[in-house]
Each structure stands twice: as C-alpha cells, then as structure tokens.
Amino acid sequence: MAFTLSVSLRETARLYLRYMTVGLVCIPLALLYAGARRADWNTTVVAGALIVLGFVGAFFVWRRLGDWRVVPADTSIEAWVDLLRIVAQQQTAVSLQQRLLQYRPRVDDETLGTYRKIFTRIASDDEIRKTAFNRILAHQQATLEQLSVVQGQSSQPNRTGTRPETQQGQPAWALALSGGLA
Amino acid sequence: MSFAEWLDLTSLKLLSQHTSAIAGAVVSFWAISKFVRWTAGIGTFADCVEYGEQFILAVLLLWFTYQMFVLLWKGRVRLQNGVHLVSFVA
C-alpha cells in the first residue's frame, strides 16, 4: 500500500513537471502574444496561431520527456542471480553499485528495470550463462581448497595416529561440488 | 457488488493524477506572475506579464483538455477490447 502510494505520488510529480515544462515552453509565445496585444493586432487570429504553435511545442516536449509512469522493476531473485552471475563472471574490481551507476547517474526503478533488460538479454545466452556458472563453481572450489590447506597447516602436526585429511576433511557438500565439477 | 465492478479505478487514478498536476502547475504560474506583477508595479512590463500569464494558462488548460481526451480515448479502446473493469484494479 505504501509502495503504491509512493509510486502514485512520483507519477503525479512527474506529470506536474511535464505541465510546468509545457508552460515554460510557451513563455516566448506568451511574450509574442503580449506584444501583439499591446500593438492592437487582431488578437483572435494571433492568439489562435500562437496557441497552435504552443500545442506543437507541448507535443514535442511531452514526447521528449518520455513516459511519466513508473515502470515496475523486476526484483525477482532470478533477475538478481543473473546479475550476480555476470558480475562474478567478469571478476572486475568494479563493484555492483558502481556498475549500476555507470549506466545512469541515479539508481531508481527505471534504471533497475533497464539494467535488468540488458542483463536479461545477456544472460539469455546459454554460453555466457554456462561460462559464468562454471567460473563461480571454480572460484568456490579454489576457495575451499585454499581453506582446507590453511586448516591443515594450522592443525597440530606432531600428533600420532591422525591424518590431516580425515581430521580436517571437507564437508559433504564441498565434496559433492568437487565431484560435480569433475 | 464491489466498487471495482462499476468504477474504473485506473481511469479515476489517472484523472486524479492529471488534475493534481495541472492544478499545481496553474497555481505555480499564477503565483509567480502575481508576485512579478506585484514587484513590477504598474507599467508595460506588468501588462506583458499579465497577458503572458493569460496565454500560458490558456495553453495549459487546453493541453490538459487534450490529455483528458487522450485518456478517455484510451479507456474507450480498452473497454472495447472486452477487458472487464475488475481486471484494471489489480
């Protein structure tokens, strides 16, 4: 309910700005109208022509400013998983927020929606998705191996009758993950 | 029978949004021109501001009327396509 009200208020504010822009566009025409009226020209004809011109300008401005309705962003978990897969695939130093800000100077529903459209198009490519998933799995595997090595080194080496492999063995889900990769 | 079965709430919402926006814009332009005329006093500039304000308000109201016709036309086409009013509520 609060979200609906917020969206409705934002749409009303956008409409207000559009109507204000239409009024601002008409200021030069208003000056012409004032000059014509002070010069005692045919007010009806001049006003009609200037109103038609104002309509044309308003039409172009209204189209230039785009849709005033708020496009609902797809915040489903699938969309964010796709987003994170692509980010993890590229493995750059750019954070997720910076990548969002790279497209538009501000992050709102429209930006997220546009960003999601772009990444949906990219993520719909099976090859890219497969590569991203394999890289995520490889990264997880390497992390687990590194972790197990560190844990093995930190265990006591002088204890007899114990093997580090059995003492600090990997969890079952990690073994299953390694088996799935192999 | 609920309200949604005989009221097009989507159209009412659009109407209220447009009405609020145009009322805000008209009041803004009127207040600005009133302030400018008050500061300018009596003279050519004040007359120009007054005439310009009349023209801008006329264009704004005509543009609002055009937007209302567009809204009505879209709602008429929407209803002619056989979509029931209840489906717009959600």
Segment A34-43 shows an average pLDDT of 87
Q: How far is B49 from chain A (nearest CA, A)?
A: 8
What pLDDT is stored for residue A42 in this prediction? 82
Q: Do A55 and B44 touch (CB under 8 A)?
A: no
State ipTM. Answer: 0.82
Q: What is the mean pLDDT of chain A?
A: 72
What pLDDT is stored for residue B63 in this prediction? 94
Domain ranges, ordered by start, for chain A = 2-64, 77-124, 128-154+168-181
Residues of chain B with pLDDT > 90: what percent?
42
Q: What is the pLDDT of residues B31-87, one digit of tens each?
A: 999 999 889 888 888 888 889 999 999 999 999 999 999 888 887 766 666 554 444
Q: What is the DSSP string of A94-148?
A: --HHHHHHHHSSS--HHHHHHHHHHHHHHHT-HHHHHHHHHHHHHHHHHHHHHHH
What distance in Å separates the CA atoms of residue B55 and residue A32, rounded to the nearest whole number? 10
Find the angle CA(A142)-CA(A143)-CA(A145) to the nearest 5 degrees: 65
Q: Residue A104 pLDDT more than 50?
A: no
Where does the pLDDT of residue B29 fall: very low under 50, low under 70, confident under 90, or very high at 90 and above?
Answer: very high
**In chain B, what residues touch A18 (CB-CB under 8 Å)?**
21
Residues of chain B with pLDDT > 70: what percent?
78
Segment A10-18 shows an average pLDDT of 91
Q: Read off the tokens for A162.
A: 């114990």
CA distances from A20 to A23, A29, A117, A135 (A): 5, 15, 31, 51
Segment A163-173 shows an average pLDDT of 52
Taking alpha carbons only, the member of A89, A90, A88, A87 closest to residue A100 is A87
Highest mean pLDDT among A60-69, A97-106, A144-153: A60-69
Q: Are residues A128 and A116 in contact, defined by beta-carbon separation less than 8 angstroms? A: no
Taking alpha carbons only, the member of A71, A14, A33, A60 closest to residue B63 is A60
Listed by number, the residues of chain A in 22-81 with a beta carbon closer than 8 Å to a beta carbon of chain B are 22-23, 26-27, 29-31, 33-35, 37-38, 47, 50-51, 54-55, 58
